[in-house]
Amino acid sequence: MSSFIALPQGMNENTFTRAIKEYRALLGDRVRTDQASLQPYMRSSIADSGSRKPSAVVYPSTPADVQKIAKIAVKYRTPLWTYYGGENEGYGSATPATNGQIVLDMKNMKKVIEVDKELGYCLVEPGVTYGELQDYLKKNNINLWLDAPAASAGMSVVGNILERGAGYTPYSEDFLFSCGMEVVLADGSLLRTGMGGIPKSTSWQVFKWGFGPYVDGLFSQGNNGIVTKLGTWLMGAPPPGGYMPFCIKFPKVEMVGEIIKPLMFLRETQIVPNAAALVNAGWEAATIFSAKNGNGSFLRNGGSPLPVKKLMDSYRVGAWNLYGAVYGSPEQVALNWMYVSGTFKQAFGNKIQIITEKEAKGDPAFEYRKQLMMGGVTRQHPLDRWRAGGGSMKFCPTAAARPAECAKQVKVATEIVNRNGFDYLSEFSFFWRDARHVIDLRFNNGDAAERKRAMKCYDELVSAFIKNGWAINRTNPAFMAKVAKSYGPTMGRLNRTIKQALDPKNILAPGKSGINLV
């Protein structure tokens, strides 16, 4: 019997023991292989998490540590799964894409290297969380906004940006606003992207493109390097009176298409400049429920899907709840708000309910969204209180932000999710031209039959969406290969060619985004 929890694929115990000895010579007790230390990296909200176990965890403290770790990894061929100790729940948590990878946990790399107040940017290490960066800004009296995802207090700024995650302020599309990376490549060399290669560069965090091919994308949602520093722009907070959040409640699920037409006009003209969120009744009810009941109780505990009407009546939510905001000078905000409210009144008359801070009167769902749209760091995610058992697999397709397409996605997804006995819980975020449709498949992870059903349901969603031409932009390790395949053989070949050139021994997160050399 092996003395390790798992071994890298194809490796024998002796070789792995020698590799661990060399890692220990470098890092001392920052190398762990025992059950208790590895337990956090086996905990996952996705339904098949037990099938992929890490073999060890190592904790670098500096980029130089990471360079030396990469060299040992190449020598012994021990794959490394980079992670920072964050959450990534719904997309696989900390569990590696294949069995036996060594988790490279970046949680000791916690430096906020620079925040530039004048031009509004920061440079951080991968262990810095949104909560820590927000505290840093407060402590140093810096009036810049983050663009934080939901429940971001313990999430890594670098992890979210590399996953091409999103927030809710006018910046929203976080990878677009990142600027300059430091990356350790598989051979242990250190690359600075963009302007970072110029000695004494003054513009690493202000100009993204550098010279020649733009390579930062190779390190996002990928497995071509280990990012040890990342720059990102931070939005200047508007002057007092320069931010006004709003909510519009719509009474019918079928209205989704009608909402999108006026909304996309307001988005494309930048009258509403942030990624407005269209939240369905279940997701919104969970926000209100969790604010009132806190930890310990759940909105529901199994059974057949909850009818939308019941949720609307019990929690006074819309079938759809649109959250957006206007920003700028106080004068601009007043004028733009007249335009936004007028546009929706003209389209829907008195069928809708328009809510601003005045009418919301401290409503917890409104408060939560108000925080998110000004980059505020929040802690608990409302859907955590949806049901016991903690299972969550986020299904994340992209739609062209056209009325008919979004309406059809809702119909197809609801049918599949309900037929499998689950609830349709969704949020659309409207970016520059696309609507990102996040469906959170919540299930009881303690129930084996339900786990199996959740896997089947997710698989059906992937197949049905691909068949309709709706690509999936982010998924958990159990479905990465299937999603990657949907992008076609030429893309698969290109990804493998790049991997072969940069990481021929296949040591960096094999299987991530379906890219693997075996």
Ligand X SMILES: Cc1cc2nc3c(=O)[nH]c(=O)nc-3n(C[C@H](O)[C@H](O)[C@H](O)COP(=O)(O)OP(=O)(O)OC[C@H]3O[C@@H](n4cnc5c(N)ncnc54)[C@H](O)[C@@H]3O)c2cc1C
Binding site for ligand X (CB under 6 A): 82-84, 86-91, 106, 126, 149-151, 155-156, 158-160, 162-163, 165-166, 226-227, 381, 509, 512
- Strands (E) located in 49-185: 56-58, 80-83, 102-105, 112-116, 121-124, 144-145, 178-184
Q: What is the torsional sign of CA 353, 357, 363, 365?
A: positive
Give min distance, CB of 27 to ligand X, in A. 17
Q: What is the DSSP string of 300-340?
A: B-SSSPPPHHHHHHHHT--SEEEEEEEESSHHHHHHHHHHH
41, 195, 446 from 35: Cα distances, Å: 10, 43, 20
> How many Å apart are CA 158 and CA 165, to the nearest integer?
10
Give min distance, CB of 149 to ligand X, in A. 3
> How many Å apart are CA 485 and CA 491, to the nearest integer?
9
Give min distance, CB of 152 to ligand X, in A. 6
Give min distance, CB of 38 to ligand X, in A. 16
Cβ proximity to ligand X, 417 vs 509, nearer residue: 509
Cβ proximity to ligand X, 352 vs 396, nearer residue: 396
Give min distance, CB of 106 to ligand X, in A. 5
CA proximity to 311, closest of 382, 360, 392, 403: 382
Cβ proximity to ligand X, 336 vs 516, nearer residue: 516
Give min distance, CB of 150 to ligand X, in A. 4
Give min distance, CB of 168 to ligand X, in A. 7
Cβ proximity to ligand X, 174 vs 363, nearer residue: 174
Whether residue 289 contacts residue 315, with contact meaning beta carbons closer than 8 Å, is answered with: yes
Whether residue 391 contacts residue 301, with contact meaning beta carbons closer than 8 Å, is answered with: no
Residue 260: CB partners within 8 Å, gap ≥ 6? 401, 402, 403, 406, 430, 435
Strand partners, 372: none
> How many Å apart are CA 119 and CA 236, to the nearest integer?
9
Cβ proximity to ligand X, 100 vs 165, nearer residue: 165
Give min distance, CB of 225 to ligand X, in A. 7
Q: Edge to edge, what strands does the sheet with 178-184 contain?
A: 112-116, 121-124, 226-233, 178-184, 190-192
139, 434, 435, 458, 462 from 467: Cα distances, Å: 51, 19, 18, 14, 9
Cβ proximity to ligand X, 183 vs 340, nearer residue: 183
Give min distance, CB of 395 to ligand X, in A. 13
Q: What is the DSSP string of 385-445?
A: GSBTTEEEEEEEEEEES-HHHHHHHHHHHHHHHHHTT----EEEEE-SSEEEEEEEEEEET
Give min distance, CB of 438 to ligand X, in A. 8
| 61's tokens | 């403290």
